[in-house]
Chains A and B, each alone.
Chain A
Amino acid sequence: MRDTALAESAVTCWVLTGIAIGFLGLFLALPLLAVFSEALRRGVDAYLAAFDDPDTQSAIGLTLLIAAIAVPLNLVFGVCAAWSIAKFWFPGKSLLVSLIDLPFSVSPVVSGLVYVLLFGAKGLLGPTLSDWDFKIIFAVPGIVLATIFVTFPFIARELIPLMQEQGTAEEEAAMTLGASGWRTFLTVTLPNVRWALLYGVLLCNARAMGEFGAVSVVSGHIRGLTNTMPLQVEILYNEYNFVAAFAVASLLAGLALVTLVGKSILEWRYGHGLSAVRRR
């Protein structure tokens, strides 16, 4: 900050910092504060009582189950996609990569709708499924599918650039030394990308637990059966049970915070591995 040709003046520096903190405070801290202050409006007892409701407990259970299915599937997909895209050349690669991005630009309402069009009673496969008595929509499989769709690109997006940047030299060396493909992946590739992988999983998990729009379309909203936490927030809110609604919301916000803290710890301890992700 000494040289004005190399760095901004102290005034500019303070003004910019002030703008940044003000902007983040307005758009991040205040909403978060609002959630927690509403949740604790009637005190800690009322807050804790919100979690005694069996419907809320079942919503928490369902959300955990959904994430436990969706995240590992997207993890396997992310690793496979990154391996084939980053380590090999084939025509149409940029198209494939764009297609993986596609769920980012699809409205959550539409991501739910497509599964209704496909598996609903009046949908393409609906009658067949109904003959087999196999339920997808308005049951757990449908909620899992919608969640997978919404969180589809997260892990792949995290891994592909890093693995592209790292190239194939290390893997080829390992192969030359006689390691099997699987062993090469486990001992060479995986350690190189583990922190990016973990961060991708954290974000994917947070989004999977928090998805509202798409899940709302395919859930059916049956209490104690197909309600996830975000849906339970809406239900409680609509029952004028504002404290309980914000209590469940605060749990989700808390999850968001834990995710972020986890990420920060990763960055702090393994700053090198993660900053590699951040390099172009």
Chain B
Amino acid sequence: MSVAVQSWSPSWPPAIPKPGALPGFGITFGFTLTYLSLIVLIPLAVLVWRASGLGLDGIWRVATTPRVLAALETSFVISAAAALVNALFGMIVAWVLTRYSFPGRQPIDAAVDLPFALPTAVAGIALAALYAPNGWIGALFEPWGIKIAFTPLGIFIALVFIGLPFVVRTVQPVLQDLDREIEEASATLGATRRQTFFRVVLPALLPALLTGIALAFARAVGEYGSVIFIAGNMPFKSEIAPLLIVARLEEYDYAGASAIATVMLVISFAALLAINLLQAVSRRRMGDA
């Protein structure tokens, strides 16, 4: 989706007037801030406030019990793995969709957005039906003793599905706009196709690729609806962090639930920031901005 296409570069474009040159700054800015505060900031602040009732050491205690640590590890490690797989295959898909023409390219291109539009519960049920031992795909692996649904592998499959469009949709537009002359120059200077790709094309794609990975990762970490149907939900094995939040709520432990939620929020926001910084650095080294 092109919602996630562009990477932010706040200092750009250069010619933006100070408030006053164009009208409407006050009202639009005011509305933006008010709406943002009402819908996003105040509710999230309440979450942090609720967790802070435990104190920092309380939050730390909740977050570092072995069960929670294991769930956080499951969530973050599998999300990272899914994001990386999406990076590899997303690159290939983006490359094929922009560079090659073949029959059916247009509808395939359109279908990439499907995971955004398909309700996560539907995705979970459909994936569970496919990958269960008696499902279309699960049955193929069953004779070899490989179980997909109800294992960490099932979580991985669901998270790859959820994050699929991000890398494709961030890399694709950059690839489209990439000047072919640069590649031609590289070829003229004697580079092989492989060298041109890894030394010229890939570095140019890197910022977009990182954004895509970051968004896919952040989305995967929080995913609940589709995972819950296909994960085995076994403690220390296939239990994801959002499930623990739900379990805490069942015990009427709102503070504990808020604490785990806050920790997840902080970690995934930190991961996003780190990747955005990395991206800014690579952008500057490209001399692109």
Contact = CB atoms under 8 A, between A and B. Distances in A.
Interface in A5-32: 5-8, 13, 16-17, 19-21, 23-24, 26-32
Interface in A237-280: 237, 245-246, 249, 252-253, 255-257, 259-261, 263-264, 268, 275, 277-280
A249 B129 CA distance: 14
B124 to A, nearest CB: 9
Given A90-B29, A110-B264, A280 B93 contact: no
B68 interface: no
B177 A212 contact: no
A19 B92 CA distance: 8
Contacts of B31: 76-77, 80
Interface in A142-192: 145, 148-149, 152-154, 157-158, 160-161, 164-165, 167-169, 171-172, 175, 181, 184-185
B10 A230 contact: no
B46 A117 contact: yes
Contact of A168 (B17, B92, B219): B17
Given A106-B265, A260-B113, A210 B120 contact: yes
Interface bracket on B = 35 or more
Contact of B269 (A102, A117, A245, A264): A102
Interface in A63-78: 73, 76-77
A210 B272 contact: no
A24 B100 CA distance: 16
Mostly, the B contact residues are helix
A169 B269 CA distance: 35
A149 B22 contact: no
A13 B97 CA distance: 11
A8 B193 contact: yes
Contacts of B2: 158, 196, 199, 277-278
Interface of A: 3-8, 13, 16-17, 19-21, 23-24, 26-32, 34-35, 38, 73, 76-77, 79-81, 83-90, 93-94, 96-110, 113-115, 117-118, 122-124, 145, 148-149, 152-154, 157-158, 160-161, 164-165, 167-169, 171-172, 175, 181, 184-185, 196, 199-200, 203, 206-207, 209-213, 216, 229-230, 233-234, 237, 245-246, 249, 252-253, 255-257, 259-261, 263-264, 268, 275, 277-280
12 contacts: A8-B193, A28-B164, A31-B123, A77-B31, A87-B25, A110-B265, A154-B3, A167-B15, A196-B2, A207-B116, A252-B119, A260-B114
Interface of B: 1-8, 10, 12-13, 15-19, 21-25, 27-29, 31-33, 35-36, 39-44, 46-47, 50, 89, 92-93, 95-97, 100, 102, 106-123, 125-127, 129-130, 136-137, 160-161, 164, 172-174, 176-177, 183-184, 187, 191-193, 196, 208, 215, 218-219, 221-225, 241-242, 245-246, 249, 254, 257-258, 261, 264-265, 268-269, 272-273
